[in-house]
């Protein structure tokens, strides 16, 4: 007989031990992940599943991307040619975060078009006004506990760090110094740029470039959570160690953004193999990461996901941590 | 507490109002959509779900494509090197359409190889014979109420309109003037051709080219249902207005073919986001479309779909229309 | 009323008759198929579904690929830079195969890097040591009944047949002459090479090249199971006839490796359409194949698959064979 109780007999004797995931992004205004078309009932179920797994922080990935926005923000509706949204996602997420006693971080608007030198100020201005509107309208929620600077920068886009600095400082100043977070990516072997022929950054080059970038945003960013999927599994630990060293130097918390989707498959993207997630969680634990946030629970780790592999990943995760 | 009754509190005050979808394609002999491997039991369930949502017309997308055919058509089996099919899909769809009191339109055979100048006559001849066979064999079904001219033409393939004209007229003449329908596409920014470097057609160019094409098929086509997914969301309304103007000029009904799959994602294709569908349904309503047919219910909007996002899209649709 | 009993009325009068599938690969250390993240409970359910369908043989596709390995093999952990695995998949699969009274074949390690001329010996040495370790540790299982030479060769990689010969002979010699199996592929129209511009091999060229390759591995291989998905459906029968002729000449059993995923769709890969599977099963039956193994049950034909189309394919298969 093989039943659940016997599962332990197939676990290998020296199996890795990961660190727990306590946060997730909410990817509703999305770039490349197909939508699940959930209403509040489905989101309520999903917050419940997050909570059970140990998640205490949800980060709305962005307030908008190009013409798509998460809520009817007047500052954007008036100044930009955006679509009027059917649902107030910010109010819904905050209501659910309140209910489940979680922290909610608000992600900034990404115009998708003001990233070029000379246009930065427009992106900054839009977000400055948005922050004011959002804090006035939603700031009363007890779960509103942070800001996420959503522009994903890397070496090629490091001038964007100006946006981080100005926007981050403003958000902190009007909200009683709430936490700010960024999630940049490493210029590694799995970036589109390197896959297209560019050279990946060595660990040493990575350290030098980010030392400069972080110097630019000093005082504006509290949490640095590098994405962990652009480097190979055996390379990850070395980059994480550098990230921690840099975070310490600039008085930031160092989280890891652990991707729960699989970058190695022809279908872009489905849930990651548990073995790969575990390798990354072990590397993060060993490198001293202070927390792990995943991109993202609802598509790739949730028992409610349309990708049924995600529910099995949830089960494997819960088994590993005896949840 | 957040429960279903509270959903309304997150709906935005000025949320759009779409027009209802009353028809769907049946995409069983498919070009690029993976099969669901349904038998009659699953199809029966799906017709039931269609009916509940308000669908009253089903359009079999094509009788065959290349070597694959929907039923053992003797005219094709004798003249073309096609595979003998395991199931008589036409009989099955008609039986279900009879049962659920729907209209069924029969889509023509697409050889996939007689599209070049000089070979058109072969495509026409095959379909002429097929129409005769099909009307004799299946015409007794009360749900057999129309013909679909399945060749999807656009500016580059406008000579194909000859096929429309001849085949459409013959189909009408032998069947007591049943309705005929076409569903061409706009040469817009999301066509493969334009994505590959070609220039999209402006609204004005679109009007001029289609004025010419429609003149060629005068009297052979009763319903024109342009696909709505090759232009961007904010461009759609302008094209729809022109389509309606053209349809009026040529005494056709103007439907919109609202795509329920998402063209903007790396996985080609999964169900569309409800917000996008709603934008298109609103544009169609405002532009005065007389009906909406979706491509297509069973994969992308059905609670029975293998893509679970589709079932959630169904729920969002039904909520919107209080179904 | 349409219910299941009436399904027969839509089956076509001359519908094809396939041969049954009695074996499947287990693709857990995978190249391009996303993982389902199953634990022993889910695998137990899946073996039960296999058994019900008539499967009596499971073939673990490979012991490892590059850095990923199926079990903590000491010979690989010591000599190669591989990741330590979380679960002993070999022990789990053998335990389940014992329970369900199936035969289990062990697939070799594929380094992914020693395929070039001059490095073959390294690949051979690793597998020689692995075979010894595996037989000592797992050989006591009653279900351990064969070896699978996992390197998928074709004309371009025919020198790899050296690996087949040496490894196959060693595996047989230490295990009391257990069965050995290979599953090469035809250099047909659907290979990546031909899709990229290379010329497909004609049936005659295929025969000549494989006559030479099989001569090289004489005595080391008992079962030859060509993959059936690289040629078009109407071409398959002719290739299968040659495969059978070659197998007979070299005293091998001739199986077909019937792919249950669809190579013709933009999503790479989802379950195949039942009609296509049936065409291939009929071609295999007519060509005298001695057995059919599928790649693979758990993703593409199983009622437990994350791809729900797979469960419907299972239902269609069971209906066809009155299971």
State pLDDT tens for residues B259-289.
999 999 999 999 999 999 999 999 999 999 9
Is B274 close to A81, i.e. CB distance below 8 A? no
Give CA–CA dist B118/A238, Å, rounded. 65
Decide if C161 contacts C216 (C-beta within 8 A): yes
Decide if B63 contacts B57 (C-beta within 8 A): no
Closest CA to A115 of A156, A75, A78: A156
Nearest to A83 among B233, B307, B309 (CB): B233
Give CA–CA dist B274/B316, Å, rounded. 7
Residue B171, C-beta contacts closer than 8 angstroms, at least 6 positions apart: B131, B147, B178, B180
| Alpha-carbon distance C269 to nearest alpha carbon in chain B (angstroms) | 9
List chain A residues with CB under 8 Å of C35: 262, 271-275, 309
Q: What is the mean pLDDT of residues A100-122?
A: 89
Least confident span in A288-302, B36-50, B166-180, C112-126: C112-126
Decide if B273 contacts A42 (C-beta within 8 A): no
pLDDT tops 60 at residue B6: no
Is B267 close to A99, i.e. CB distance below 8 A? no
Is C37 close to A265, i.e. CB distance below 8 A? no
From residue A66, alpha-carbon distances to A92, A123, A311 in Å are: 21, 11, 32
Crossing angle of the two packed helices C40-53 and C308-320, in degrees rounded to 10: 30
Question: Which chains have 3 or more CB–CB distances shorter than 8 Å to chain B?
Answer: A, C
Indicate which of A86, A112, A270 best probes the interface with B, i.e. most B CBs within 10 Å of its own CB: A86
The pLDDT value given to residue C7: 52
List chain C residues with CB under 8 Å of B36: 308-309, 312
pLDDT tens, residue by residue, A72-99: 999 999 999 999 999 999 999 999 999 9
pLDDT tops 90 at residue A2: no
Indicate which of C28, C35, C299 best probes the interface with A, i.e. most A CBs within 10 Å of its own CB: C35
Is C84 close to A278, i.e. CB distance below 8 A? no
Q: What is the mean pLDDT of residues B50-72?
A: 98
Q: Tokens standing for B74?
A: 């003797």
Residue in chain A closest to C90 (alpha carbons) equals A10
pLDDT tops 50 at residue C94: yes
Rounded to two decimals, the ipTM of the complex is 0.96
Question: Reduced to 3 states, what is the DSSP secondary structure of residue C69?
Answer: strand
The pLDDT value given to residue B312: 98
Cis amide bond preceding C269, omega within 30: yes
Question: Which chains have 3 or more CB–CB distances shorter than 8 Å to chain A?
Answer: B, C
Nearest to A35 among B9, B266, B273 (CB): B273
Which pLDDT band holds residue A1 (cuts at 50, 70, 90)? very low
Backbone angles phi, psi at B83, to 5 degrees: -80, 140
From residue C206, alpha-carbon distances to C156, C214, C239, C244 in Å are: 12, 12, 8, 13
Nearest to C4 among B41, B71, B88 (CB): B41
Nearest to A10 among C40, C42, C99 (CB): C40
Encode A189-211 in three state secondary structure: CCCHHHHCCCCCCCHHHHHHHHH
List chain B residues with CB under 8 Å of A95: 2, 10
Q: Tokens standing for C23?
A: 């074996």
Give CA–CA dist C127/C109, Å, rounded. 6
Backbone angles phi, psi at B198, to 5 degrees: -70, 160
Give CA–CA dist C169/C172, Å, rounded. 5
Decide if A102 contacts A47 (C-beta within 8 A): yes
Q: What is the mean pLDDT of residues B233-239?
A: 98
pLDDT tops 90 at residue B3: no
More confident of the two residues C39 and C3: C39
What residues of chain A have any CB closer than 8 angstroms to a CB in chain C? 1-4, 6-7, 9-16, 233-234, 262, 265-267, 270-275, 278-279, 307-309, 312-313, 315-316, 319
pLDDT tops 70 at residue C109: yes
Backbone angles phi, psi at B93, to 5 degrees: -65, -40
Decide if B111 contacts B66 (C-beta within 8 A): yes
Residue A42, C-beta contacts closer than 8 angstroms, at least 6 positions apart: A36, A304, B312
Which pLDDT band holds residue C4 (cuts at 50, 70, 90)? very low
pLDDT tops 90 at residue C287: yes
What residues of chain C have any CB closer than 8 angstroms to a CB in chain A? 32-42, 44, 67-68, 71-72, 81, 83-89, 91-92, 95-96, 99, 267-269, 306, 308
List chain A residues with CB under 8 Å of B16: 84, 86
Is A34 close to B270, i.e. CB distance below 8 A? yes
Give CA–CA dist A313/B186, Å, rounded. 42
Residue in chain B closest to C308 (alpha carbons) equals B306
Nearest to C278 among B86, B89, B308 (CB): B86
Nearest to C34 among A11, A267, A279 (CB): A267
Indicate which of A275, A279, A317 best probes the interface with C, i.e. most C CBs within 10 Å of its own CB: A275
Give CA–CA dist A296/A318, Å, rounded. 16
To which residue do tokens 């389509």 refer?
Answer: B243
A68 sits in which H/E element: strand A68-69
Is A12 close to C36, i.e. CB distance below 8 A? no
| Alpha-carbon distance B43 to nearest alpha carbon in chain A (angstroms) | 21
Superfamily of domain A21-29+39-320: Glycosidases (3.20.20.80)
Nearest to A12 among C35, C40, C85 (CB): C85
Residue B136, C-beta contacts closer than 8 angstroms, at least 6 positions apart: none
Nearest to A268 among B14, B15, B266 (CB): B266
Which pLDDT band holds residue A114 (cuts at 50, 70, 90)? confident
Residue B90 Cα to chain centre, angstroms:
16
Least confident span in A116-130, C67-81, C164-178, C273-287: A116-130
pLDDT tens, residue by residue, B143-183: 999 999 997 776 666 677 878 889 999 999 999 999 999 99
Is C309 close to B37, i.e. CB distance below 8 A? yes
What residues of chain B have any CB closer than 8 angstroms to a CB in chain A? 1-4, 6-7, 9-16, 233-234, 262, 265-267, 270-275, 278-279, 307-309, 312-313, 315-316, 319
The pLDDT value given to residue C1: 41
**Average pLDDT over all residues of chain B:** 94
List chain B residues with CB under 8 Å of A38: 312
Q: Tokens standing for A170?
A: 């403003």
| DSSP conformational letter for C263 | T
Decide if C102 contacts C49 (C-beta within 8 A): no
Q: Tokens standing for A3?
A: 């039943």
| DSSP conformational letter for A109 | E
* Domain segments of chain A as ranges: 21-29+39-320
Residue C114 Cα to chain centre, angstroms:
22
Q: What is the mean pLDDT of residues C80-90?
A: 97
Provide the number of CB pairs (under 8 Å) joining chain A to chain C.
97
């Amino acid at each position: 007989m093989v039943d659940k109780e016997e599962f332990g007999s197939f676990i290998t004797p020296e199996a890795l031990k990961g660190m727990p995931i306590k946060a997730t992004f909410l990817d509703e205004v999305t770039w490349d992940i197909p939508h699940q078309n959930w209403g509040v009932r489905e989101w309520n179920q999903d917050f419940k599943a997050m909570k059970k797994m140990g998640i205490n922080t949800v980060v709305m990935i962005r307030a908008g991307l190009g013409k798509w926005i998460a809520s009817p923000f007047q500052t954007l509706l008036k100044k930009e040619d955006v679509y009027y949204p059917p649902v107030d996602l910010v109010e819904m997420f905050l209501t659910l975060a309140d209910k489940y006693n979680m922290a909610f971080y608000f992600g900034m608007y990404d115009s998708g078009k003001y990233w070029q030198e000379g246009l930065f100020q427009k992106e900054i201005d839009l977000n400055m006004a948005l922050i004011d509107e959002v804090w006035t309208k939603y700031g009363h929620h007890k779960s509103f506990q942070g800001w996420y600077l959503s522009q994903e920068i890397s070496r090629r886009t490091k001038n964007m760090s100006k946006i981080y600095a100005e926007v981050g400082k403003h958000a902190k100043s009007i909200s009683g110094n709430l936490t700010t977070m960024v999630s940049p990516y490493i210029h590694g072997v799995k970036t589109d740029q390197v896959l297209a022929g560019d050279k990946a950054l060595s660990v040493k080059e990575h350290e030098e470039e980010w030392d400069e970038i972080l110097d630019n945003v000093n005082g504006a960013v509290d949490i640095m959570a590098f994405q962990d999927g652009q480097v190979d599994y055996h390379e990850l630990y070395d980059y994480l160690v550098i990230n921690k060293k840099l975070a310490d130097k600039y008085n930031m918390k160092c989280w890891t953004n652990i991707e729960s989707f699989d970058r190695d498959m022809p279908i872009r993207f489905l849930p990651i193999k548990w073995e790969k997630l575990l390798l990354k969680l072990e590397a993060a634990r060993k490198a001293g990461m202070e927390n792990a946030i995943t991109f993202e629970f609802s598509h790739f780790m949730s028992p409610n996901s349309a990708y049924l592999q995600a529910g099995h990943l949830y089960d494997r995760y819960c088994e590993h941590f005896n949840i």
